[in-house]
Amino acid sequence: MVERELVIVGGGPAGMAAAITADENGVKDILLLERDQYLGGILNQCIHPGFGLDYFNEVLTGPEYADRFIKKIKNIPEIEISLKTFAVKLTQDKIITYIKPGTMESIKAKAVIMATGCRERTREMVHVAGTRPSGVYSAGLAQKLINIEGLLPGKKIVIVGSGDIGLIMARRFVLEGAKVEAVIEVEKQPSGLVRNVVQCLEDFDIPLFCGHRVSGIFGQDRVEKVCVVQVDDMLNDLPETCFEINCDTVLFSVGLIQENELIEMAGVKINKKTNTTDVPGMFVCGNAFKIYDLADTVTEDSSIAGIQAAEYLERLI
């Protein structure tokens, strides 16, 4: 079996930052696995500004922020990038099995950094009742459809949840010519950043209903309407407040969850306070470690994982 010094799973902001700092701290052999055909992860579809203020002290869009790291990595000979590469298994012995077109390989790593990111919580996770018509999307999927594929999934939109992606998509839909009927947030306060409430909703007169939930989605083939109901402090429905909104699309922006199934399947436990795990030499960073608000913070924290991996490898010698 091929042995590698450091294998990093995930080529988004976390994996790239970890790779760069690991290199800066003396790791001579780094393999970076990315499942997509480009580095940059979710930043590629985040075409809005708001990145880099902390880290670069300038306002950048997601692709621009990613580009700085991509260009840097491509100039580091010690980092080997493997694209379209999907890690399917991880063991406690730090053996990683991955699939790419034409091949499946297992390699043994001395150190591993898992930077597999996160996924969006879905309608199913928040248990919204009703039918299952076409027109129900996660905010991130809608973002990808519009920004990467140039496809507009709907024209009359209701957004469930006021996470940052949902707010940003509200503005994006309006810019593309759709109407955003409302953003519905079950908590008393929006969950996204205030600046996004201002520049994405208020700028475009999009109504925000806090303390409300969508209690049902209806429509036979395509979404036709949602039912909205106010909730009390205990989040119980106040049935007499129920009202309907006609729409053809429902977007869910109800939070993110770490995507670390590989770590779980390996029976590895993540140390909640640091980027380490109960397996020496195995680290976790970025959204796979915890859900971050800002990519800049992901970069900063993931750099630490890169240093930790470098120090671990140094101690092995």
Partner 1 sequence: MNKKIICIECPQGCDLMLDIQDGKLVSVIGNKCAKGEAYAAAEIQNPMRILTSTVLAENMSFKMVPVKTSKPIPKAKIKEAMKAIKKIRLNRIVLIGDVIAENLLGLEVNLIATRDC
Partner 2 sequence: MKSFDVIIIGGGVVGTAIARELSKYKIRIGLLEKETELAFGVSKSNSGIIHPGTQNPANSLKGKLCVQGNLLTRRIAKELGIDFQEVGELIVAFNEEERLRLLQLKKEGEILGVPRLNIVDQEWLKKHEPNLSLKIVAALHAPTAGIISPYRMAYDLSENAVKNGVEIFTSAKVENIKATPVENIGREFAFEINTSTKMFKSKYIVNAAGLFADEIAGMMGIDDFKITPRKGEEFLLDKKRENITNHLIFPLPSKTSKGVLVIKTSDGNPMIGPTAEDVTDKKDVSTSDEGLQKVLFSVKRLVPSIKGEDIIAYFAGLRPVSGDDFIIRHEESVPGCITVAGIQSPGLSAAPAIAAMVKDLLKATGLRLRRKLFFQKHRNKTTHLFAQPLWKTKKTIQEDADFGDIVCRCEMVSAKEVKEAIKRGAKTLDGIKFRTRAGAGRCHGGFCTTKLMKILSQETGKPLTKITKRGPGTEMIKKDRADG
User: Which residues of the chain form contacts with partner 2 (CB under 8 A)?
Assistant: 35, 84, 86, 88-89, 97, 99-104, 119-120, 122-125, 127, 129-134, 137-138, 140-141, 144-145, 148-155, 177, 215-216, 218, 220-222, 248, 261, 264
Give the gyration radius of the chain's Cα atoms.
Answer: 21
Tokens describing residue 175 = 């810019």
Residue nearer to partner 2 on the CB measure, 5 or 248: 248
Could you give the strand order of the β-sheet that contains 136-138, starting from the edge strand earlier in sequence?
Answer: 136-138, 249-252, 156-160, 179-185, 208-210
Residue nearer to partner 2 on the CB measure, 99 or 208: 99
Residue 131 near which of partner 2, partner 1, none (CB within 5-8 Å, type-dependent): partner 2
Site string for partner 1, 145-184 (x = CB under 8 A): -xxxxx------------------------xx--------
* Pair 1, 288: CB distance under 8 Å: no
Q: Could you tell me which residues come within 8 angstroms of residue 117 by beta carbon, excluding any fewer than 6 positions away?
A: 10, 12, 14, 41, 42, 259, 286, 287, 288
DSSP class of 198? I
- Which residues does residue 108 pair with via DSSP β-bridges, in sequence order? 3, 95
Site string for partner 1, 187-216 (x = CB under 8 A): ------xxx-xxx---x-------------
* Chain residues 72-101 in contact with partner 1, contact rule CB under 8 A: none
Residue 262 near which of partner 2, partner 1, none (CB within 5-8 Å, type-dependent): none
Residue 48 near which of partner 1, partner 2, none (CB within 5-8 Å, type-dependent): partner 1
Angle (CA) 38-41-42 rounded to 5° is 130
DSSP class of 266? T
